[in-house]
Structure 1
Amino acid sequence: MPELAEVSRIVHFLRQHLVGKTLSKVSVQNDDIIYGKAGTTAAEFQKAMEGKKVVGAGQQGKYFWLAMSSPPHAVMHFGMAGWLKIRNADTYYYRTDKPEDKEWPPKYWKFLLETDEDPKTEAAFVDFRRLGRIRLVDCPAEEIRKYSPLKENGPDPVADKDIVTEEWLAKKLRSKKVPVKALLLDQANISGIGNWMGDEILYHAKIHPEQYSNTLNDDQIKELHSALHYVCSTSVDLLADSEKFPADWLFKHRWSKGKKNASCMLPNGEKITFLTVGGRTSAVVPSVQKKTGSVAKDISSDDVSNAPSKSKRKRAPAIKEESEPDTSEEDAKPKKTEPKRQNRKSIKTEDEDEAKTKPVEAEPSNRRRSSRLRK
């Protein structure tokens, strides 16, 4: 699933290619899930957007929006596999070399936008899994974050640095007894952090993902706060281009899980293991991330040897793992956990529910469709 860094990448391109331009034509395809579950219809979206000028683009975590010259405004979420393509622009963050990926309009499009300039700019929201969300928010553009679904979510660590202070983080951690990884992934706490970013933050903070949040000491909280801002700001500044990520990041070496004859270790020889925390598979370096307090459970060798394999994503110069916790109005609320019940997930996601109950469209055959940046 696109996380804070990847969504920031698309906002960058929206500002570059669409902001300041008028939408002369908006084409839509009706979808009762992508539009309907967000409380609107394709026809309503078309009517609200066509003929208006795009005056801004913004982001809060995994949500992003287009601010129009008059309300309502489009607020969107990519779900597990959605994306926004701009014709002849390098918006994607993984390699795609299939001829059909060059077609326009692209397959599985939900809306197409065309500007009134010459040459025109064309953009498309695509989602073959139909787990993304497109909605209209009727409010002044500067107040979008005060309305659902954004108001139910936590602060964005990049946009809201003045809120996500060390003191704020300490209070948040000590107010809950949940694995620290699960707390980071819960969008009601902090917006935008998904699986790979959560692992990277905890690796740099030298904190074990299973350790209960309320057992972290002052020094650990300080390190976590520093790592949180370092990973989020760096990945956003680099437009989620993994080729430019620092060489010492866990991200560079975490993708060999479950692959035959693959080495699950860092270049310095430190072993990478995998376990499940809060319903998510986590990459951990035990020699660095020590358990210094009570944890949700102890891992065994089975957590490593039985971990499923994942496809590898590449970033092309010219271009969720597992699903991440989505941030719909329903799952943005704080989740309660029961630590003694080891099989209970601390976060339940809209994406996971949809994926289990609605196999709505076939995934394109013979295509690498990863939702994680990989080297």
Structure 2
Amino acid sequence: MTRARGSLDAFACVFVLANGLVVACGAPERDVVPSPVTPAEEPVRTAPPPVMSAASAENAPDAAAPAPSAPPALPPRRREEKHEARTTSFGPGPVEPSAPHAFKLAANLKAARASPSGKKTLEIFSLLPETILTKQRTAVDPFADGEWLLVYGEDVDVPGNNVNAVRHGRPAVEVSGAIAKAGFLPLEEGPKGAVRTELFDVRDALFSPTPSLLVMAPRDRAKEISVALVRPVDPGFKSGELARVFFKEPWRATSILPKSLSDALVVVRPASDDGLDVSAEATCPDEAACKEIAEGLRQRAARMNSLMVRVATRGLLIPLTVEGKPGGEGIRAEGTKLRASVHAAPDQVQSILNFVRAALGLPAADPGSP
């Protein structure tokens, strides 16, 4: 098995996390297991593209960014599971989406595609090999075909030990046909029509509680989860929001936050200039601690904001180095609440997404795209 860090680190990671789509910023390394291949189909192994974190960027000499490579070729589908994958367990908590959970991500994918900056962000996720493989085996690209995405459970990793549900607009017969053609084994102990799958490197159950809902969830409680999702589901985002992400223990998502913070909420909205407005809040143990944490985060943002980072982000971090005022940009303490807000203009969004594409080895964006 190879080791991979589920993180883009620093500013790029935080930005994409705020968009409600990548949730492993600063998380511990996790096992990533490639899809099975036979010896005759062994792919050519190439070195992964270098990933530069903001911390290393501060001390790195100026150099041209490496040319991004095309996504790797996808392996053929398999009827048998021939390698070890992460087997997840949902745990003993409630399975209803409206119940309290340690982690919840709700993304309004339809609204995101209607936003120029949101659309560009989703296009990156559609280029990931895991998404392409999912499209081949289910007929659904969650980021291109989804109305909304809902992830909830105990794990801040995505998909992790969570329920992963996408409401989509693909014809049910097309979805069921693709799943049947993929050769997944049936999950006898799961809900009707459930199959065993290893999409996104996680050994889970795949099923459709309703024709327009595709769910990947831990096998140990798949039946209960299916019953809960047959009923009408409110994903949880509010009108005008592109994404809403909740962390009971935010330090599990990123190492830059202290363990004393709790109940963090990140909200992303489209801005009037076609950029994005990102706001976040978390609960501190007391007012004094909140002021100390806010000042520490402002200082950290200032240390990270080297000349190279300022150029790469077009100054995106500058507002986070100051306290700011209520309703404005900055990081501040308001009683026992830690609050942060930042506006990303369209050129700043594009610059960050260019960094993400290079870090993930994805093709560069079309210069002529809106």
Normalised TM-score (structure 2): 0.28
Normalised TM-score (structure 1): 0.28
The structure richer in helix per residue is: 2
The structure richer in strand per residue is: 2
